[in-house]
Structure 1
Amino acid sequence: MVKAFDKWLLPWLRQSLRSSNAPVTDVMLAVCDHFEPFHRSDKDGAMRRMKAWQDSLPGITAAAVDHDGGGPRHTFFYPIEQYDPDVIQSLTSLCQRTRNEVEIHLHHDNDTAENLIRVLDQGKADLRRHGLLGASPLGGAAFGFIHGNWALDDSDPQGKGCGVRGELAILKKAGCYADLTMPSAPHRTQAPMVNQLYYSQSSLEGCSHHRGVCASAIGSTSKNLRDRDDWLLLVQGPLGLDWRRRKWGLFPRIENADITSANPPTSQRAAGWINAGISVTGAEGWRFVKLHTHGGPERNHAALIGGARRKFHQELGELASRSGFRLHYVSAREMVNILHAAEDGKGGGDAGLWRDYLYSPPPCLQKNDA
């Protein structure tokens, strides 16, 4: 597989040299799952996978608590082109039991802008019927987005997995509050911006997210950009080199915040994710750690709904206690809300106060509170 080092290694080195020495006061941890229960499976297999999650995830979320008294969060980015009412209803039930949320994932190829708009509208309607997706301050459906096959804004150099340029503006106008696709390394679609929270202006040239303006608490630029239809927020997960897991005992492997059974979450990895320094400029004490995984197929269940994850959350709580930071388990929506609060000058206190700052929870969770 192409490692894409030429795209991201030098930007990573430059960004590492500029990393902030600000003390870490709050860590927001979100697990963003490219959740595909139909991956190489039929309906019966998808429902068996849902049962495995129904049986195991509640125990994971009850086994640890964060600074706010809540358990670990898991955001399911469901591929809307694979909508099935039974699977989605099972997922809705699971979210109600565990206080988790569903966002939008999409695989498409050789697509058109007109069809993408139609598919997004249909996907939102499908999920909203089940009480899923949060709402914007104006009341419309709001969603986080992960692009299938990593090819956001037609960014695959082989021309695969998208076909739509100007995709960021289409997403923003449809109600997307942020894209959370990156990092994709070692895949060839990896963007040259790394370990950043930033806004990109949509362009018909494609690859719009390869450049952007960093989210900042200084001045009014961030607020102005987040209100514009042609700029979209990009939330990246940690990317770097892992010298502890060397190939052939010599070369570092890529640390891309992917959770797999072959590379499960650990407190050592967590320390590296935090040290990546992903934050809003001017509020560097709040660190944002977005992990990703593929939780549908059974191959990753051990790391996500098994003992490895229970152990990780225990160790992470101990790391937070030793290091003196407030740990917040967040959904993708809550992470973005806290990010916007940081932009608006709220970054000097407890980040957990701002989970619902702009985008409100999905109806299925609001009903659960009633």
Structure 2
Amino acid sequence: MPSWLLQRGRANLRRAPFASGTYGFGDNGVKHLVFAVCDHYEPLHGNVTFEQGLERVMTWRRRYPEMARRFRDANGRLPRHSYFFPGEQYDPRFVEPLAEMCAMGLGEVEVHLHHDGDTRETLRAALEKTLRDLDAHGVVPRHPKGTPAWAFIHGNWCLANARPDGRWCGVDDEMELLYELGCYADFTFPSAPDPCQPHVVNAIYYPRGDVRRRRAYEDAELAHVGMPRRDRLLMIQGPLALARRPGKRALRPLRIEGGALDAHDPPTPARLDTWVRQGVCVEGRPDWIFVKVHTHGAPEDNAEAVLGPKMAALHAALHERYNDGTRWKLHYVTAREMFNVACAAMDGKTGSPGQYIDHVIPAPPRAASATKLAHAS
């Protein structure tokens, strides 16, 4: 709560000069909404059979293109979904349909991992295997030096061995290892009310100090215009807020809003406005607002929430409220593209963030022609 209140004060200070028209960042005063859906995409969630897991994947392969083709952002691009695929559930029949959607300009595949009781050596082996498996589908991009480049979400939220009970990780210096293996950004948080939730909220930042320590993500150097890139993970958080509960519940009028999309808390236009109001940005570029929401989209009930009418209504609200071309422009991005836009902001770039989706990390091979395909009728 203290961190959230402090961040709200910073956000209000950022908004005030922009509202008075004093920023003038070279795009005629237009604000830009950079919007990403990051999915902890687990076909076998709930210990279901392989056959049920495959049916879940094929449901997405069939329904997501049908839903997405109805919407375009300010750049003419379709909604893009980031599938953080759990390495321990790998089967080529699960990943190939996701890779096909990657080639259609509908998303990208990133790394997710659930693990427990690991050492640095066993975790390295698991991550290297995951990267080889995904690379076989052409969904892993490359750093300029040729090594794999990837984003990460930790299973069970337990980045850097964060849980008080010691479960679901085991490796204090996990963040250093991730960076060594080519990971450029972490998208795990927020996770409140989980105990792994950091005190830092609604921020894009680098961890300060020794990243080999447990919970190294707790100490933040906020990303700002003119900041050189650090030799560590960039932390890109989704919105975290207190919000009113739907309906009339006088005894518990407020709830934690953490940007999770699921059957019990589906997307709504009201939630969208709350996400935007948190003002997640690179300091010094308050006209580029980052909204990263998350889901566990593979299970059937959650899939309906993010493939069905409620998600379509959210996209409609995105266009009606944040893509009028005069006050707001909407930019659908993947996790990789969101990282690139954040780096462009740190590098002092101006204008439309849509220019910078490949600013640092290029598209994976399978998506090399996705931009062209995304503009197809």
TM-score, with structure 2 as normaliser: 0.90
Residue 308 of structure 1 aligns to a residue whose secondary structure is helix
- The CA RMSD measured in Å over matched residues stands at 1.7
CA contact (8 A) 1:150 1:181 kept: yes
CA distance in 2, matches of 1:334, 1:137: 16
| Partner of residue 356 from structure 1, selected from 338, 355, 358 | 358
- 5+ residue gaps, structure 1, are 1-8
| Partner of residue 73 from structure 1, selected from 63, 74, 80 | 80
1:9-47 deviations in Å (ceiling 9; x for gaps):
110011111211135611100000000001121210111
Give 2:130's aligned amino acid. Answer: G
Residue 300 of structure 1 aligns to a residue whose secondary structure is helix
| Partner of residue 291 from structure 1, selected from 286, 290, 293 | 293
CA distance in 2, matches of 1:267, 1:135: 37
1:315-340 deviations in Å (ceiling 9; x for gaps):
11000145711100000000000000
Shift of 1:205: 3.0
Shift of 1:71: 1.2
| Partner of residue 17 from structure 1, selected from 9, 12, 15 | 9
Residue 135 of structure 1 aligns to a residue whose secondary structure is coil
1:200 maps onto 2:207 in alignment: yes
CA distance in 2, matches of 1:191, 1:336: 20
CA distance in 1, matches of 2:193, 2:175: 23
1:108 maps onto 2:118 in alignment: no
CA contact (8 A) 2:87 2:130 kept: yes
For structure 1, which segment, 18-27 or 183-192, has the greater mean C-alpha deviation from structure 2 after superposition?
Answer: 18-27
Shift of 1:56: 0.5
Shift of 1:261: 1.9
CA contact (8 A) 2:176 2:212 kept: no
Name the counterpart of 1:5. Answer: none
1:336 maps onto 2:349 in alignment: no
Give 1:314's aligned amino acid. Answer: A
1:211-241 deviations in Å (ceiling 9; x for gaps):
12011104xxx3242xx2xx22100000010
Name the counterpart of 1:6. Answer: none
Name the counterpart of 1:213. Answer: 221
Name the counterpart of 1:240. Answer: 241
* Cα distance change on mapping 1:205 and 1:92 into 2, 3 Å: same
CA distance in 2, matches of 1:367, 1:283: 30
CA contact (8 A) 1:61 1:98 kept: no
Give 2:191's aligned amino acid. Answer: S
1:145-165 deviations in Å (ceiling 9; x for gaps):
000000000001121110001
CA distance in 1, matches of 2:235, 2:51: 36
Shift of 1:137: 2.1
1:280-300 deviations in Å (ceiling 9; x for gaps):
011111011000000111120
Shift of 1:246: 6.9
Structure 1 residue ranges (4+ consecutive) displaced by more than 4 angstroms after TM superposition: 367-370
Give 1:333's aligned amino acid. Answer: R
Residue 201 of structure 2 aligns to a residue whose secondary structure is coil
| Partner of residue 326 from structure 1, selected from 326, 329, 352 | 329
How many residues are treated as equivalent by the alignment?
354
1:249 maps onto 2:250 in alignment: yes
| Partner of residue 30 from structure 1, selected from 26, 36, 44 | 36
- 5+ residue gaps, structure 2, are 20-29
Shift of 1:203: 3.4
Give 1:317's aligned amino acid. Answer: H
CA distance in 2, matches of 1:204, 1:327: 38
Shift of 1:98: 4.4
CA distance in 1, matches of 2:219, 2:247: 31
Name the counterpart of 2:23. Answer: none
| Partner of residue 91 from structure 2, selected from 84, 94, 102 | 84
Give 1:272's aligned amino acid. Answer: T
For structure 1, which segment, 21-30 or 54-63, has the greater mean C-alpha deviation from structure 2 after superposition?
Answer: 21-30
Shift of 1:69: 0.3
CA contact (8 A) 1:57 1:98 kept: no
Shift of 1:122: 1.1
Residue 161 of structure 1 aligns to a residue whose secondary structure is coil
CA contact (8 A) 1:247 1:253 kept: no
Residue 274 of structure 1 aligns to a residue whose secondary structure is helix
CA contact (8 A) 2:105 2:367 kept: no
TM-score, with structure 1 as normaliser: 0.92
CA distance in 2, matches of 1:107, 1:321: 37
CA distance in 2, matches of 1:131, 1:239: 34
Name the counterpart of 2:26. Answer: none
CA distance in 2, matches of 1:246, 1:265: 15
Shift of 1:124: 0.7
Name the counterpart of 1:141. Answer: 148
* Cα distance change on mapping 1:56 and 1:329 into 2, 3 Å: same
For structure 1, which segment, 316-325 or 119-128, has the greater mean C-alpha deviation from structure 2 after superposition?
Answer: 316-325
* Cα distance change on mapping 1:345 and 1:84 into 2, 3 Å: same
Residue 76 of structure 2 aligns to a residue whose secondary structure is coil
Residue 237 of structure 1 aligns to a residue whose secondary structure is coil
Shift of 1:302: 1.7
Shift of 1:367: 5.6
For structure 1, which segment, 111-120 or 322-331, has the greater mean C-alpha deviation from structure 2 after superposition?
Answer: 322-331
CA distance in 2, matches of 1:312, 1:335: 20
CA contact (8 A) 2:34 2:330 kept: yes
CA distance in 1, matches of 2:337, 2:214: 29
